[in-house]
Structure 1
Amino acid sequence: MDELQHECGVAALYYLPGHAERSSVWHGDPEQLSRQMPRMLLDLQNRGQLAAGMTTYNPQREQLLDTYKDVGTVIEAFRLNHPHKYASIMEEYAGRAAIGHTRYATCGATDRRYAQPFERRHGCKWKWFAFAFNGQLTNFAELRRQLLANHDYHLTRNNDTEVILHYLAHELRGDSRPDLVEVFARLAEKFDGAYNIVFLNALGEMVVLRDPLGIRPMCYAIDGPVFGAASESVALQNLGFRNIRSLQPGELILIREGRLSLHRYVRKSRPAHCFFEWVYFANVASTLDERSVYLVRARLGEELARQEKALGRVPLDPADTIVVPVPDTGKAAADAMAFALGLRSVEGLIRNRYVGRTFIEGDNRADKVRLKFTPLREVLAGKRVLLVEDSIVRSTTLKSLLHHLRQQGEAKEVHVRVACPPIIAPCFYGIDMSTVGELFAPRFLSGKTPTLAEQDAMAQELGADSLFYLPVDALARCIDLPADQLCRACVTAQYPTSAGQQLYQLALLRRDQQPVNGRTYEQPEPLTSLPSVSAPPQ
């Protein structure tokens, strides 16, 4: 609701040689399989809209690896609205293997230099590689400092992707072809945070990797000779893949000399899946770690209904009480909540899906709300509205929306119900909320769990008649995973990695200081208690 953004989405495709079976995913020339990559990236567009790109491998081409990328949405970057330009791109970059990326920046600028994949060219084929990643290195600042302090390195971008590129290049040094499983095992000893990586080199070797804690999702499938992987299952399902599986935390898929193999590159440990993927980020049609996003959100709505009945503070008369979702991520929860309460779930807010990014730039939040949402007066006028929101992060958009519902929609009452606990702490694993000061809930709370009085104070600040959050313990029940296998740092302030916990202490320190521009992990002061890492020599 507050335009919360994700780090990125990644995808991979490979046409494996020597398979007699036919594929329902791709019937054409194997060297043209990369044409499916923009289609996959469209299904990952929810994970990033700032840039998109792909790297392809074609052994029949002089440029064995070649990368195309540009700023904008997938439609803009790949010129999908210009058939001749799109066809030219697809022909020039055709290949039997491809990795792709959609970007939102939680680290670094928004220009084309930061678009992924990143490619490093080299005369030696195994040292010529490209990669893209989803997530965020929590110890990025420390890794970067070590590079700049200990060796004659020059970094041209202020982001963790370039840091990963340098460490990868170091691991691929030498005169003999390295074992890629061992390469990424050594990198895992240095990296802290969330990092799902797709990697492709000029030998045609591919790696698809999920970080040791499985913070971000990664799915894969095989259909005859075609292998595919993506941040979300919907990108594979819509291509025709079946039997889609989740890559386990700490596992990687290696394709080498045309053969696919699955490897564990780090010792198995307790996972920390980001609960927010199910609550907000992932496409509602996706299944992550064998849990349907839609069904999880429906269960969140059922939990809200149970809470509503227990509280009994709002009359639930079907004649004048309706449930209204905030489009689009609140709809599954709202429908389930309404059904459980015997109320109607109605689309009292219509989202304008055709407002381009250019028209909603700037800081006027009220103007953005009016452009993006139209309240239906015929549905809302004189009604008591239970407004179902997936989460409240910064609150500025929600506050404008509530005013809009009353003024234009003429709603009699608006009661906000949030299918998520209060966001009380930043995220350092790939979600764009990295400071305490930008968050709405912490300034109202005396502890981690809001009291009724504190929620009443929040409602007054927002301009709502009442406000209730989902309790923290409901998350594990709805996702159907043990609480200790979820990353719930943003609602508990308990982080799954040491660097994350220390960044939180730094964020708390800065909350009461003068406003600091930028994100917590981009600030110049070092975290002296962070474990030191060795930078690779040139």
Structure 2
Amino acid sequence: MSDAIKHECGLAFIRLRKPFSYYLQQHGTALYGLNKLYLLMEKQHNRGQDGAGIASVKLNVEPGYPFLHRIRSIATQAIADIFRQVSEELIDLEKYQPDIRKHPGLLKGHVRFLGELMLGHLRYGTQGKNNVEFCHPFIKRNTIQSRNLALAGNFNLVNTEELFGLVNIDPGVFQRQSDLAAMMEVVHHFLVQEDEVKPGNPDIAAVLRKSTKLFDGGYHFGGLVGNGDSFVMRDAHGIRPSYYYISDDVIVAASERAAIRTSFNVGENEVKELMPGQALIVKADGSFAIEQILEPKERKACSFERIYFSRGNDEKIYRERSQLGYNLSDAVLKSIGNDLKNTIFSFIPNTAEVAFYGMLKGMEDYLNKIKVQRIMAWEKDFDEEKLTEMINRKIRVEKIAIKDVKMRTFITEDSNRNEMVQHVYDITYGTVVPNQDTLIVIDDSIVRGTTLKESIVRMLGRLKPKKIIIVSSAPQIRYPDCYGIDMSKLGDFIAFRAAIALINERGLQGTLSKLHEECKEMARTGQLHTRNIVKEVYAPFAAEEVSRKVAELITPADIDFEVEVIFQTIESLHHACPTNTGDWYFTGNYPTPGGNKVVNTAFLNYMEGKNVRGY
């Protein structure tokens, strides 16, 4: 993604089902669980680089001894920093007990994070400041063991203010900035209620039923309870991804299937998807159940997971990203008039690479079809040279764009900063025939368009192509997200700015003012959640018109060649990614009422010049 956006988070949950001595005998180390937690988090590090945290609960601890521990970090390499600290604790112990690793009982008693229940989290900050206090897991301590709670997740809630009110809490400054703080207060409130009914053994399914019916958002979260119970739960629309694996030795859950497969070396079918509205609940004795906590609603799994966010080493995601590129082949061929001879194909590193291979396959399929047609048309009128020339025709592929190490702009003047931004990417010289070749470059999505204009298009222009076509494997991003991705300001979206530009060009400002008044009235009457008014901003224009305007907006003024933008269509997106149909950032069809409230609030903010979040 050329325009970086902060997104998602990663969850890692492990419940050991055997004594530590078992792992020492079977796997050569009593630290098996901690090692696997580290691996599970590292295999999801793409999901969060603002910080990380882990929590652990020890079972059967003597009264008076600590059983719930937590550590968090916002170091540059937060996962490594956390496990370095855990390791240093063990190294210090070995100074006094050199063979302590051979004594699981001693290890459990002296290594704080060696617990049977472990919860890890990787954070991309979508709400709150980037300091360690905002890193998950959050914990709630209590003198009663079964009322202690550690909570972490991948989610955004859009009704946090209401949640605080529902449990009669006046939130402080910190709590107002964190939707996990609101979730924690609600879950803990009902945990205490259930513990009063069944002291020491609260009904976790009941806790989750009472809590999550109040949440508006997309979520995948996990919790550890002080009595040894634990759980992982997914929202009713299945917006956020959730996977689990169960064996005699362990119960594992994570945000990505491939992370579990790699960490535990298991097959695809051994890792299950936690379905919408379900919870994986593990009791203190190691028994488990999959409970339907909320009635499942229309599946709206986030399509951006398939386009960009999840790691592409999952075989299904790899195929889908390839198909996204393949689906764009016809539109690209039409744009270049089928002139493959004078066209070069490349991609924006690194996340668009798989879609690039799919698009390339589409071009090769077309070229092979043409080769067969031409050869068949020759009948017997050909010689070896003519046949060899036809067979050897290839799609022209070059690695045009090279992403350099992250450059920092130390100079404060805007003009100098823009100059530095141009050099985030570099080019391979000598690959383009000047003023003759068309250059096609695929990106996985176009959000703001800033990097395209200030860096990529200007950089590619040094090669003096006849034309540049930017291809997006995602459709036009038109609306905010409020379920885990940090996209909440309408003015940030190049597609929205394109629609506003078209409105101004065609003298439709009155329509915009009318929508603004309607939206203000909806806010006054508490109706912002009822419909997405921003759809009407786009209604007068065909998708192709918006695409052409986007191309104009990302073209620097001093560029003297044509720039075109081709977006994936909604239909071809769903064809490529049939199980992840959540597309509200493209279509404006939000799965919960809170989504409509967020987009309308974002519209009010835009119209009133407020550069603040929509939720």
**CA 1:469–1:27: 2 relative to 1, 3 Å:** same
2:607 to 512, 515, 523: 512
**CA 1:495–1:248: 2 relative to 1, 3 Å:** same
Distance 1:166 1:46 in 2: 29
Distance 2:475 2:597 in 1: 23
**CA 1:233–1:451: 2 relative to 1, 3 Å:** closer
**CA 1:82–1:250: 2 relative to 1, 3 Å:** closer
Instruction: Tell me which residue corresponds to 2:400.
Output: 348
SS at match of 1:78: helix
| Residues 1:424 and 2:478 aligned together | yes
Per-residue deviation, residues 119-178 of structure 1 (Å, max 9, x unmatched): 11112111111010101012123324556xx44554533110111111122111143232
**CA 1:411–1:195: 2 relative to 1, 3 Å:** same
The letter for the 1-side match of 2:357 is D
SS at match of 2:232: strand
The letter for the 1-side match of 2:12 is A
Distance 1:117 1:381 in 2: 55
Per-residue deviation, residues 275-328 of structure 1 (Å, max 9, x unmatched): 1111111111136xxxx111111111111002223xx23244444312111112
| Residues 1:63 and 2:63 aligned together | no
**CA 1:118–1:75: 2 relative to 1, 3 Å:** closer
**CA 1:451–1:479: 2 relative to 1, 3 Å:** closer
Per-residue deviation, residues 235-258 of structure 1 (Å, max 9, x unmatched): 112212331111101111111021
Instruction: Tell me which residue corresponds to 1:414.
Output: 468
Per-residue deviation, residues 438-486 of structure 1 (Å, max 9, x unmatched): 11102323635644343222212212621111111112111124xxx72
Is the 1:51–1:77 contact (alpha carbons within 8 Å) kept by the matching residues of 2?
Answer: no
Per the TM alignment, residue 221 of structure 1 is displaced from its structure 2 partner at its CA by: 1.0
1:427-446 superposed matches below 5 A: 427-445=481-499
Is the 2:224–2:231 contact (alpha carbons within 8 Å) kept by the matching residues of 1?
Answer: yes
1:469 to 567, 573, 577: 567
The letter for the 1-side match of 2:440 is L
Distance 1:81 1:167 in 2: 34
The letter for the 2-side match of 1:34 is L
Instruction: Tell me which residue corresponds to 1:525.
Output: none
Q: If the length of structure 2 is used for normalisation, what is the TM-score?
A: 0.76
Distance 1:73 1:362 in 2: 27
Instruction: Tell me which residue corresponds to 2:282.
Output: 255
Instruction: Tell me which residue corresponds to 1:376.
Output: 428
Number of residue pairs the alignment of both structures matches: 506
Instruction: Tell me which residue corresponds to 2:590.
Output: 495
Instruction: Tell me which residue corresponds to 1:447.
Output: 538
Is the 1:222–1:241 contact (alpha carbons within 8 Å) kept by the matching residues of 2?
Answer: no
Distance 1:419 1:53 in 2: 33
The letter for the 2-side match of 1:129 is L
Distance 2:189 2:14 in 1: 26
Instruction: Tell me which residue corresponds to 2:43.
Output: 43
**CA 1:378–1:444: 2 relative to 1, 3 Å:** same
Instruction: Tell me which residue corresponds to 2:346.
Output: 324
Instruction: Tell me which residue corresponds to 1:9.
Output: 10
Any unmatched runs of 5+ in structure 1?
Answer: 522-538
Distance 1:76 1:173 in 2: 32
Select the structure that is richer in helix: 2
SS at match of 1:370: coil
Distance 2:44 2:318 in 1: 16
1:228 to 252, 263, 267: 252
Distance 1:336 1:394 in 2: 25
Distance 2:447 2:44 in 1: 22
**CA 1:138–1:113: 2 relative to 1, 3 Å:** same
**CA 1:344–1:92: 2 relative to 1, 3 Å:** farther
| Residues 1:139 and 2:159 aligned together | yes
1:28-427 superposed matches below 5 A: 28-30=28-30, 32-59=32-59, 62-75=65-78, 78=81, 85=88, 91-144=111-164, 150-151=168-169, 154=172, 156-157=174-175, 158-174=177-193, 175=196, 176=199, 177-239=201-263, 240-242=265-267, 243-256=270-283, 257-286=285-314, 292-309=316-333, 312-342=334-364, 343-352=395-404, 355=406, 364=417, 367-368=420-421, 370-371=423-424, 373-380=425-432, 382=434, 383-427=437-481
**CA 1:517–1:451: 2 relative to 1, 3 Å:** closer
SS at match of 1:379: coil
Is the 2:72–2:82 contact (alpha carbons within 8 Å) kept by the matching residues of 1?
Answer: no
SS at match of 1:486: coil
The percent of aligned pairs where both chains have the same amino acid is 25
Is the 1:56–1:67 contact (alpha carbons within 8 Å) kept by the matching residues of 2?
Answer: yes
Per-residue deviation, residues 170-207 of structure 1 (Å, max 9, x unmatched): 11114323210110111122101111111112222110
Per-residue deviation, residues 262-282 of structure 1 (Å, max 9, x unmatched): 111112322111111111111
**CA 1:425–1:48: 2 relative to 1, 3 Å:** same
Select the structure that is richer in strand: 1
- Aligned Cα root-mean-square deviation (Å): 3.1
The letter for the 1-side match of 2:614 is T
SS at match of 1:214: coil
Distance 1:249 1:179 in 2: 20
Any unmatched runs of 5+ in structure 2?
Answer: 93-106, 365-394, 500-536, 556-561
**CA 1:338–1:31: 2 relative to 1, 3 Å:** closer
**CA 1:59–1:155: 2 relative to 1, 3 Å:** farther
Is the 1:249–1:271 contact (alpha carbons within 8 Å) kept by the matching residues of 2?
Answer: yes
SS at match of 1:10: strand
Instruction: Tell me which residue corresponds to 1:532.
Output: none
Per the TM alignment, residue 75 of structure 1 is displaced from its structure 2 partner at its CA by: 4.8
